[in-house]
């Protein structure tokens, strides 16, 4: 078998796999129009037509699309005539898109086709949760999401992409781009909260709390545990889990903003994350006997919150540059500790970008981020002490002390 035949066979196999995957989901959803057998045929038709069009004429591909469209229209018409009350078009559009994906495997690239196929399956499978999320969103949530559109699509493109201010650290476009990035991460957690609701469980509660705001999650559970003392084991776990996810956020931010230095920062920060996950796992085993419920989450896409983070980020990047110029590493560490008390995103983004540009070393960057994380642990422990119960404080103090010990050991012992 020559290379061309092997490539054609590979394309057909991938197309068949995507068709079976989509068909399986539609079959379980009891779709009348297409199911486990029809969807593979649609995908294979797209691939075969694309293969033929590459050696004959593009009209073969167009004819295949017209044929699939006609069949889908006829099937939908038959469904309505048979008395089917749900005249939705999701399956129909999925079938047409799958034909295009099958063709793209040949005429485009296999990687994006696989990603698109996966997205289609997820969107089809999450029908009920997505409808619940939209139903659960009130006018305030919709207004906040529209504000996200405002700050990302309308404001961002018109900002100047030039350096201003002392040390040339204030670039309005880049500062606001970081605002959009952080708000997007937090909003993804809020959407998960709306999808799964308050009773999705302790593990998901900690994950979502970390995505939206680990500090806000700490405040919420500290107050709840003050009113309900028996929630202390659960509260300690969710607070620790949210803190773990905040470290995951840090690694994601580094990967997006400065992928070139990810490897240098990922090892020590990953060890810190591993230690925190081990502590959280122990707390989870202790809290398993207690019912899990998420704390109430606020929509993070509000314009005031975005503006506050933008100002904070601008202040931090100036403070980092000023401290580095005047006091060297000691000054930068002090800024990291102060900034990390309530927010780790700003110091993470600023030091990461400076390390990527060569202004500071990668060692100084991960030291600063780790110090900010440790300061954040201290701040949250203080929050629990003020707002929470004694039982929650005891458990959180033990967990955070172990995390701080792990961070201190990394700062002192990790090879330079």
Give the residue numbers spanning the domain of 224: 139-413
pTM given for the model: 0.61
What 3 state SS string does the chain have? CCHHHHHHHHHHHHHHHHHHHHHHHHHHCCCCCCCCCHHHHHHHHHHHHHHHHHHCCCHHHHHHHHHHHHHHHHHHHHHHHCCCCCCCCHHHHHHHHHHHHHHHHHHCCHHHHHHHHHHHHHHHHCHHHHHHHHHHCCHHHHHHHHHHHHHHHHHHHHCCCCCECHHHCECHHHHHHHHHHHHHHHHHHHHHHHHHCCCCCHHHHHHHHHHHCHHHHHHHHHHHHHHCHHHHHHHHHHHHHHHHHHHHHHHHHHHHHCHHHHHHHHHHHHHHHHHHHHHHHHHHHHHCCCCCCCCCCCCCCCHHHHHHHHHHHHHHHHHHHHHHHHHCHHHHHHHHHHHHCCCCHHHHHHHHHHHHHCCCCHHHHHHHHHHHHHHHHHHHHHHHHHHCCHHHHHHHHHHHHHHHHHHHHHHHHCCC
In the predicted model, is pLDDT for residue 342 greater than 60? yes
Residues 297-338 pLDDT 10s: 555 555 666 676 677 767 777 776 676 667 666 777 888 888
Q: For the residues 33-62, what does the mean pLDDT come to?
A: 81
Residues 231-281 pLDDT 10s: 788 788 888 888 888 888 888 888 888 888 888 888 899 999 999 999 988
Domain end, chosen from 67, 91, 125, is at 125
Domain-embedded: residue 130: no
pLDDT value at position 275? 92
Domain count, the chain: 2
In the predicted model, is pLDDT for residue 400 greater than 90? yes
Residue 215 shares a structural domain with residue 248: yes
Q: For the residues 292-301, what does the mean pLDDT come to?
A: 54
Residue 265 shares a structural domain with residue 366: yes
Residues 156-184 pLDDT 10s: 777 777 767 675 667 787 777 777 766 76
Residue 71 shares a structural domain with residue 39: yes
pLDDT value at position 136? 63
Percent of the chain with pLDDT over 90: 7
Residue 120 shares a structural domain with residue 150: no
Residue 156 shares a structural domain with residue 113: no
Residue 144 shares a structural domain with residue 110: no
Residue 171 shares a structural domain with residue 284: yes
> Which is higher by pLDDT, 59 or 295?
59
> Which is higher by pLDDT, 31 or 44?
44
């Amino acid at each position: 078998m020559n290379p061309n035949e092997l490539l054609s066979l590979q394309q057909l196999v991938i197309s068949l796999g995507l068709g079976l995957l989509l068909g399986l989901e539609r079959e379980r959803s009891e779709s009348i129009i297409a199911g486990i057998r029809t969807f593979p045929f649609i995908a294979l038709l797209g691939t075969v037509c694309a293969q033929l069009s590459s050696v004959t004429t593009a009209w073969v591909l167009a004819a295949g699309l017209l044929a699939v469209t006609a069949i889908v229209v006829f099937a939908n018409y038959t469904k309505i005539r048979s008395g089917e009350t749900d005249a939705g078009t999701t399956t129909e559009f999925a079938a047409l898109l799958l034909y295009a994906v099958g063709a793209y495997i040949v005429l485009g690239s296999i990687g994006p086709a696989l990603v698109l196929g996966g997205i289609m399956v997820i969107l089809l499978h999450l029908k009920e949760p997505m409808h619940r999320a939209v139903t659960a969103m009130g006018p305030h949530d919709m207004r906040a999401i529209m504000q996200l559109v405002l700050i990302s699509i309308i404001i961002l493109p018109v900002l100047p992409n030039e350096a201003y201010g002392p040390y040339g650290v204030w670039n309005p476009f880049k500062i606001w781009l970081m605002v959009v990035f952080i708000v997007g991460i937090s909003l993804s957690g809020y959407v998960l909260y709306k999808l799964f609701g308050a009773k999705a469980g302790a593990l998901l509660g900690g994950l979502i709390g970390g995505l939206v705001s680990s500090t806000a999650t700490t405040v919420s559970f500290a107050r709840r545990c003050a009113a309900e003392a028996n929630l202390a084991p659960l509260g300690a776990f969710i607070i620790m889990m949210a803190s773990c996810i905040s470290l995951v956020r840090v690694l994601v931010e580094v990967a997006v903003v400065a992928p070139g230095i990810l490897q240098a920062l990922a090892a020590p920060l990953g060890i810190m994350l591993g230690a925190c996950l081990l502590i959280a796992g122990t707390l989870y085993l202790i809290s398993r006997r207690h019912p899990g419920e998420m704390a109430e989450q606020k929509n993070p896409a509000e314009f005031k919150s975005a503006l506050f983070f933008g100002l904070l980020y601008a202040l931090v990047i100036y403070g980092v540059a000023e401290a580095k110029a005047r006091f060297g590493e000691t000054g930068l560490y002090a800024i990291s500790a102060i900034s990390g008390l309530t927010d780790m995103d700003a110091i993470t983004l600023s030091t990461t970008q400076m390390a990527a540009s060569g202004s500071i070393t990668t060692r100084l960057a991960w030291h600063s981020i780790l110090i900010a994380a440790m300061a954040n642990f201290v701040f949250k422990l203080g929050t629990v002490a003020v707002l929470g119960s004694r039982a929650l404080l005891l458990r959180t103090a033990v967990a955070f002390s172990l995390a701080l010990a792990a961070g201190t050991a990394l700062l002192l012992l990790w090879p330079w």
